[in-house]
Amino acid sequence: MPLPRRTVGRLIAGAALVSALPRLPAAVASPLTPTPRQTAGPFYPDQFPADIDNDLVAIAGQSATAAGAELRLTGRVLDTAGRAIRQSIVEIWQCDANGRYHHSTDRPGGRDGGFQGFGRTTVDEDGAYSFRTIRPVAYGGRTPHIHVLVRPPAAEPLVTQMYVAGEPRNETDGILNRIRDPAQRASVIVPLMADPTAGADTFSGTFDIVLEG
C-alpha cells in the first residue's frame, strides 16, 4: 500500500535535515601508555668503551665475541600520539653473561672481555632503533633487565629498564614492582622470541619507548 503523499514529504524533509547536520569527527585513538621512568642504577658507564655503537656482541678490533644468547632488540621512540620522535639518541647498558657490568665499581673477576656492555645509536626517520646484544641474565636479587636511556632532541631524557616476559623473578623484583600502574608495568616487559633466521640460540624482541610531552 503506497504511503500518503504527506508522509513521503515528511520523510524526504527529515532525510534532508539529517544530511545537513555537521558530521562528527572520527573517534580519536587512545593515547599510548607512557614508558615509566626508572632508576639508572649504579652502573651507568663511568668510562665509555672505545667502541660505542649498536653492536654489543662484537667489539671493533677484537676477534672474541660476547658469551650468552644473542638478542636482536628493536623498537621505536614515539610520543603518546604515536608520532616518531626523530633525532632521539638511545643508549643501553647491561651486565654480561656472568652477571658483571663493565664498570669500575663492579666486581672485575670473571668479566666477559668480549662484551661491549654499553651501546648507543640514533633513531631513523621513523623513530626506529636497533641493537645487537645478549639476552639479559639475572644477577643478585635482580630479574634479567636492560637499562635504557633515551635523549630526545628537545625534551628531558628518559631512563627506564626493559624486562623479559615470563621470567619468574619478575614477580619479586623490587625495582620492576615499583611501577604501580599495570599498563605502564606491562609496557616494559617484552616477549623474546627465538629467531632461527638470525642463527642458533638467537632471540628477537621489540621495545617501543613512549615519551610524554
The beta strands (E) that lie in 137-184 are given as: 145-151, 158-164
pLDDT at 157 over 50: yes
CA–CA dist 3, 76 (Å, integer):
61
Closest CA relative to residue 122, chosen from 114, 113, 130? 130
Residue spans of the domains in the chain: they are 31-211
The pLDDT value given to residue 17: 43
What number of other Cβ atoms are within 10 A of residue 194's Cβ?
Answer: 12
Q: Of 105 and 6, which is predicted with more confidence?
A: 105
Q: Which residue has the cell 638511545?
A: 90
The pLDDT value given to residue 10: 52
Q: Which CATH number fits domain 31-211: 3.20.20.10, 1.10.150.120, 2.60.130.10, 2.120.10.30?
A: 2.60.130.10
Write out the three cell numbers for 12.
524526504
State CA 156 to chain mean position distance.
17
- As a whole number, the mean pLDDT across the chain is 89
Across residues 185-213, what is the average pLDDT? 92
pLDDT tens, residue by residue, 45-60: 998 888 899 999 999 9
CA–CA dist 13, 73 (Å, integer):
60
The pLDDT value given to residue 127: 98
Cα distances from 83 to residues 26, 50, 129, in angstroms, run: 19, 33, 14
Across residues 168-192, what is the average pLDDT? 98
Closest CA relative to residue 70, chosen from 44, 97, 51? 97
The pLDDT value given to residue 7: 47
Write out the three cell numbers for 70.
644473542
pLDDT tens, residue by residue, 123-151: 999 999 999 999 999 999 999 999 999 99
Comparing 109-113, 167-171, 185-189, the range with the smallest average pLDDT is: 109-113
Which residues have a Cβ under 8 Å from the Cβ of 178 and sit 6 or more positions away? 38
CA–CA dist 29, 205 (Å, integer):
25
**Phi and psi, residue 119, nearest 5°:** -145, 160
Q: Of 125 and 200, which is predicted with more confidence?
A: 125
Q: Which residue has the cell 665499581?
A: 105
pLDDT tens, residue by residue, 1-55: 555 555 445 544 444 443 444 454 444 568 999 999 999 989 999 988 888 999 9
pLDDT tens, residue by residue, 56-89: 999 998 888 999 999 999 999 999 999 999 999 9
